[in-house]
Structure 1
């Protein structure tokens, strides 16, 4: 009996030892230490939670904002768009920089983004698609990246003018009596397009000794521009006035041409000045201080992708900055950009002075 008991005890020890070894092997495979539970499979497979984003933009008109909201919703993003003129949005972002409301801003041009960078209102973020953007369009420091190329055009009603009788440059509008009182002057200087029209004239008269870097001759030209034009009315669609003949001459943005032509049944003529046209790029950036950084990064990754920009280009007759999306752009916009010469701009000079130019024009010239 004593020998049998000893044998049973030995067998029990072997069994216990084997069980313990199996447990240790199991822990080694899960990569956890004693007392630390392994993450469950269900938690690793849970979908990413996207918080609601506040998105500032000056590029939400003519159905573009509604289109983006729906597309973003389909991709799992809940966004609220706050739209305003580019200059107004820039000032708002600077005013809010210590307590930001927006998470993402898109649509502004590099002139405005440079001001935001200077005010530390942007967060550095380089999306994966940045390398697909046409060379030279992104911010080299990584704060903003190109979405859409836009040309600021001088357009005319083809029922009022022909290619021969239309002006050949912006300066013709106020120097030729045939156009006086027939063009919309760029009076809404809280918006980006009027500012670029003004910049396109003032930069021709750059003078380090002049008032705000512009010669007296340049300011005289701007005075004539406003004296001989028709003031824009807040809320009125310029293309409607071009189509009905109220102001058959004025500024158009390349990205809205197709929609406007279809809406008003008038195909505007386009002027191609020898000096070139203001050519700008709309960019996307993340607002510095957002409490939703991860969601904002995912949204920007999605927004600037070749798939989304290609769809946007086809829908709104836009010219994408993303080279992989260009093939989806409409042939008409490809032809337009091929025919246009970009006007050379000193963007640093413009960014430094544009707010001061606008203030001088509003206080001294438009009065």
Structure 2
């Protein structure tokens, strides 16, 4: 009887251990399976995301799903804060990332390439990192204005001689929104915001037309409807290479430099995969590839050295902008600009 009981106990123990082992194996397999997937929310053009995602999947075997959310990106990430549906936020101005960081949306991370970034391009607390820098510059049609006649700074744009000689993007453009807010900040930091609004009124008064797309904006300058505008540097270079007679102004007060960033979303379902993607997407290799294939200027100096010549040779002053202040005020400022300042020209 004792022998029989002993055999039963041993069999029972073996079954229990086997069951536990099987359960643990399934849990491990489940976790490993989960980490073979990654979900990205982005503002980048789909061909750019596709290129980075495909290369990452090829290198790691991790399946990548991505959704291009454009202007709805920050709202979507914030709405899903308590139950994140994405692992990575990839793209968008640093002001968005600063605002979301205050709301505890991102994980603190430390990719190996972060140590080589200028402080301008990263969060001091390690929640987001810049992978692309985007200067916004004044440019003009050199067949309509000589260099002596062209403006030398943003403050010149309200002079009487430039009446109806300006065409701009409206504030639906992230670059226009950041630029208008950066100009207002120059007055805000001196405690003269009301004077800043007067400047914006004068700027609007000199503006002939606002456009909802960059292509229409450049076409207007090319057709000589007006000689002066502003845009991201890469777009000016591309249109200049297409044959438009454009010259860039190195503004005395500097050009706003928008930092396009990336972050791991807090409590992401696929955190390990997200950290791997963060390391990959900001690397010198990928920054260089995006510079060559998509005209995106790197934040890493080492990647800049392997970029197209125009990026290496670009010399411009950087406008003094506290992007933390912009993250707090940009929405209100642009609402006022759109409803009270901008005319319907």
Q: Shared fold by TM > 0.5?
A: yes
Q: State whether residues 134 and 323 of structure 1, in contact with CA within 8 Å, keep that contact through their aligned partners in structure 2.
A: no
**Equivalent residue number for residue 300 of structure 1:** 278
How many Å separate the matches in 1 of 2:36 and 2:296?
28
C-alpha distance in 1, partners of 2:134/2:323? 15
Q: Which runs of 5+ in 1 are unaligned?
A: 1-34
Distance 2:189 2:286 in 1: 43
Residues 348 and 136 of structure 1: CA distance in aligned 2, closer, same or farther (over 3 Å): closer
Give, in whole Å, the separation in 1 of the partners of 2:331 and 2:66: 28
Q: Deviation at 1:223?
A: 1.1
The corresponding residue for 1:187 is 170
Match of 1:287 in 2: 265
> Equivalent residues in 2 for 1:97-176 (5 A)?
97-176=81-160
Q: Secondary structure at the match of 2:98?
A: helix
Q: Which has the higher helix share?
A: 2
How much does 1:82 deviate? 0.6
For residues 307-361 of structure 1, the C-alpha deviation after alignment (integer angstroms, 9 at most, x for no partner) is 111111222343311233222112221111xx21111123332222211111211
Cα gap change, 1:362/1:48 in structure 2, threshold over 3 Å: closer, same or farther? closer
Deviations 1:20-40 (A, max 9, x none): xxxxxxxxxxxxxxx979x9x
Is the Cα contact below 8 Å between 2:99 and 2:327 reproduced in 1? yes
Measured in 2, the distance between the counterparts of 1:236 and 1:277 equals: 18
Are the equivalent residues in 2 in contact too, given 1:60–1:83 (CA < 8 A)? no
Residue 40 of structure 2 corresponds to 54
The aligned length equals 317
Q: Is the Cα–Cα contact under 8 Å of residues 104 and 284 in structure 1 kept in the other structure?
A: yes
Shift of the 275–236 alpha-carbon distance from structure 1 to 2, 3 Å rule, reads closer
TM-score (norm 2): 0.80
- Unpaired runs of at least 5, structure 2: 1-19
Equivalent position SS for 2:211: coil
**TM-score (normalised: structure 1):** 0.75
Q: Distance in 2 between matches of 1:236 and 1:313?
A: 20
Partner of 1:281, secondary structure, is strand
**Counterpart contact for 1:155–1:269, Cα < 8 Å:** yes
Look up the match of 1:232. 210
Report if the CA contact (8 A) 1:318-1:333 is conserved: no
1:57-96 deviation line (CA, Å, top 9, x unaligned): 2x327x53454344345434523241414xx433343333
Structure 1 residues 207 and 133: alpha-carbon distance in aligned structure 2, compared to 1, 3 A threshold: closer
When residues 73 and 246 of structure 1 are mapped into structure 2, their CA distance, relative to the original with a 3 A threshold, is farther
- Cα deviation code 1:228-278 (max 9, x no counterpart): 21443334523333323344322221233443334x422521011111111
SS at match of 2:41: strand
Match of 2:187 among 195, 202, 205: 205
Alignment check: 8 A CA contact 2:133 2:298 kept: yes
Determine the structure 2 residue equivalent to 1:334: 312
Q: Secondary structure at the match of 2:163?
A: coil
Pairing 1:14-93 to 2, within 5 Å after superposition: 50-57=36-43, 59-60=44-45, 64-75=48-59, 76=61, 77-85=63-71, 88-93=72-77
- The root-mean-square deviation of aligned C-alpha atoms, in Å, is 3.1
Distance 1:294 1:186, change over 3 A: same
Contact 2:90 2:262 in 1 (8 A): yes
Q: Deviation digits for residues 3-47 of structure 1, max 9, x if unmatched?
A: xxxxxxxxxxxxxxxxxxxxxxxxxxxxxxxx979x9xxx9xx99
For the structure 1 residues 234 and 99, does the alpha-carbon distance in structure 2 shift closer, same or farther, using more than 3 Å as the test?
A: farther
CA contact (8 A) 1:104 1:286 kept: yes
Partner of 2:320: 344
